[in-house]
Each structure stands twice: as structure tokens, then as C-alpha cells.
């Protein structure tokens, strides 16, 4: 009897000791169900970083169920999603100062509210206070062109100093425009260089004209600059840009002549791509009235 009591007491002690072991010994090292992710992208001169976690669909209904309509969402999983700008930037046409912001959303079937909030230390929506909102705006959701099992944030359609920020999950996609302040900085730089007293190089005139052409700003000013570049150095690429700017202002006769000159110089320098490109433009412009 005494032996049985001692043996039972020993088992109880051993079981109690196992229960008191540090919990880490009983845990398995498993992947996170919503793995963290980070994207980095430069738009214009502005560095953009997004830190977020990526929940998976796993056969569930995402918006309207897993993420309830009309409720504040962390726009991901785990900690709140944080987006950082190294310089002031425009989101959906609204200027936002440089800095870090939590990116919250309120999904609805027909409209989402996008929120940038200055509090960035929260887990999920904890600590969120509307008084810390930097910006709110509305966007319309759409059906994504492909299915996203994992929630995905992307910066796409990058052209010059602008692009689109996309939020994709399952078959739902939301996007809004994002634009840097690079244009204002470049215009100030051009103004400073062009108004200075130093001698202007043909390359400077060409760069300024090309920037205006690419960003579709003041074609007559761009034409004046590239014409000064051509006067200093009739390079085939300068003449080619001059031809396109003549066409943009509607002077197709001058555009054809400049394109022919560009093709001749390009042929002499064995740049056959420019020869073919100029010839295609000439054929197109010859059809203009």
C-alpha cells in the first residue's frame, strides 16, 4: 500500500513538473500564418516603403465576412500596415507630408475609405484614434484581373514621377494614384538653369525639352529649347525630338523636314533604328492635312 502511494505521488510530481516547464519547450517552430512583407519603391525622388502582413484566403469569404463591411481594417494582418514617405507626396490628389503613417481602410461593397493615420505603433486597430488621421478619401473597388490567395500590396504603373498603389485580395482590387513632388523640383531646376547667365549647352536645352515633351507640358517652350539645341548641334536625336514637337504643335511640314534631317544624320552614323522610326513618322505625318 505504501509503495503504491509513493509511486502515485511520484507520477503526480513528474506530471506537475512537466506542466511547469517553460512554454517555449512545448511549442513548435511553425511559419507565421500571415507572413510579414515589405516593399520599397522610388517614385520620382521619393522613397516609399510599405510594411504589412499577408493573410491568406484559405477558402474563406474575405470582404463582407472575414473583413466585415463598414468596419475599420488594418489593411493586412498582425500589426497595422505602415507606409513611409521620404518626402511629401500626393495620394489621390491630396498632399501628404513626409513621414510614416498607418494605412487603414473601411471596406464596403461599393466604396472603400482609405485612411492615413499618424499613429504607427498599434497592433491591428488598437490605438487607432480618428483625431490622428492625416488623410481620408474614398475609392471604388473593382474585380481584380487575377485571383490573389494572399493579400498583396503593389506599386505599379510607374511612369515618370507617378504610379498606382494597389490593394489586392481574392478577386477584389482597390487602387489610387500616387505622385511625387519631382515635377515641381525639376521645373525649379530648369528655371534656375535657364535663367542663369552661364552658357547653355545643347544637352541642357535637349534635356529640358525632352522632359517637357515626356510630361506633356508647354510644347511651344519645349520646341524653342530643342530648336536651340539643334542650332548648336544638329544631332539626330535632337532633330528627332524637334520633329515630334513640331508635330505636337500642328506644324507637320516642319516636322517632316526635321524628321528627314534626323534620318539622314542617323543613317550616316549607322543608327538604323532612328532611320526607320523617322521614316514611319514621316509617312504618318504626310497623311495629315
In a domain, 67, yes or no: yes
Last residue of a domain, one of 146, 180, 214: 180
Alpha-carbon 182 to chain mean position: 14
In a domain, 138, yes or no: yes
Range of the domain at 133: 36-180
Domain identity same for 146 and 81? yes
Last residue of a domain, one of 180, 204, 230: 180
Domain identity same for 129 and 208? no
Count of Cβ atoms closer than 10 Å to residue 234 Cβ? 16
In a domain, 29, yes or no: no
Q: Where are the alpha helices (DSSP H) in 168-235?
A: 182-195, 202-214, 219-232
Domain identity same for 40 and 171? yes
- Number of domains, the chain: 2
Please list the pLDDT of the chain residue by residue as tens digits (289 residues). 444 444 444 444 444 444 444 554 568 898 899 999 999 999 999 999 999 999 999 999 999 999 999 999 999 999 999 999 999 999 999 999 999 999 999 999 999 999 999 999 999 999 999 999 999 999 999 999 999 999 999 999 999 899 999 999 999 999 999 999 999 999 999 999 999 888 899 999 999 999 999 999 999 999 999 999 999 999 999 999 999 999 999 999 999 999 999 999 999 999 999 999 999 999 999 999 8
Q: Any long-range contacts for 239-248 (C-beta under 8 Å, 24+ apart)?
A: 239/265, 240/266, 240/274, 240/277, 240/278, 241/206, 241/209, 241/210, 241/213, 243/278, 243/281, 244/213, 244/281, 245/209, 245/213, 245/219, 247/281, 247/285, 248/213, 248/219, 248/223
Amino acid at each position: 500500500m505504501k509503495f503504491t502511494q509513493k509511486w502515485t505521488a511520484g507520477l503526480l510530481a513528474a506530471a506537475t513538473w512537466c506542466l511547469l516547464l517553460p512554454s517555449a519547450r512545448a511549442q513548435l517552430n511553425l511559419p507565421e500564418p500571415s507572413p510579414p512583407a515589405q516593399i520599397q519603391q522610388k517614385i520620382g525622388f521619393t522613397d516609399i516603403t510599405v510594411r504589412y502582413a499577408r493573410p491568406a484566403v484559405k477558402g474563406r469569404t474575405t470582404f463582407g465576412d472575414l473583413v466585415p463591411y463598414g468596419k475599420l481594417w488594418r489593411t493586412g494582418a498582425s500589426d497595422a500596415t505602415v507606409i513611409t514617405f521620404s518626402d511629401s507626396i500626393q495620394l489621390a490628389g491630396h498632399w501628404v507630408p513626409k513621414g510614416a503613417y498607418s494605412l487603414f481602410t473601411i471596406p464596403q461593397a461599393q466604396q472603400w475609405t482609405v485612411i492615413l493615420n499618424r499613429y504607427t505603433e498599434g497592433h491591428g486597430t488598437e490605438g487607432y484614434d480618428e483625431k490622428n488621421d492625416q488623410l481620408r478619401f474614398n475609392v471604388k473597388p473593382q474585380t481584380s484581373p487575377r485571383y490573389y490567395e494572399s493579400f498583396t500590396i503593389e506599386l505599379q504603373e510607374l511612369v515618370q514621377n507617378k504610379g498606382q498603389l494597389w490593394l489586392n485580395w481574392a478577386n477584389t482590387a482597390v487602387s489610387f494614384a500616387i505622385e511625387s513632388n519631382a515635377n515641381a523640383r525639376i521645373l525649379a531646376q530648369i528655371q534656375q538653369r535657364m535663367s542663369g547667365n552661364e552658357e547653355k549647352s545643347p544637352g541642357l536645352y535637349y534635356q529640358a525639352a525632352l522632359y517637357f515633351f515626356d510630361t506633356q507640358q508647354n510644347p511651344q517652350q519645349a520646341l524653342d529649347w530643342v530648336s536651340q539645341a539643334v542650332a548648336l548641334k544638329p544631332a539626330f536625336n535632337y532633330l528627332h525630338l524637334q520633329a515630334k514637337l513640331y508635330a505636337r504643335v500642328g506644324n507637320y511640314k516642319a516636322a517632316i523636314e526635321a524628321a528627314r534631317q534626323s534620318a539622314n544624320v542617323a543613317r550616316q552614323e549607322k543608327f538604323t533604328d532612328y532611320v526607320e522610326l523617322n521614316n514611319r513618322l514621316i509617312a504618318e505625318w504626310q497623311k495629315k492635312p
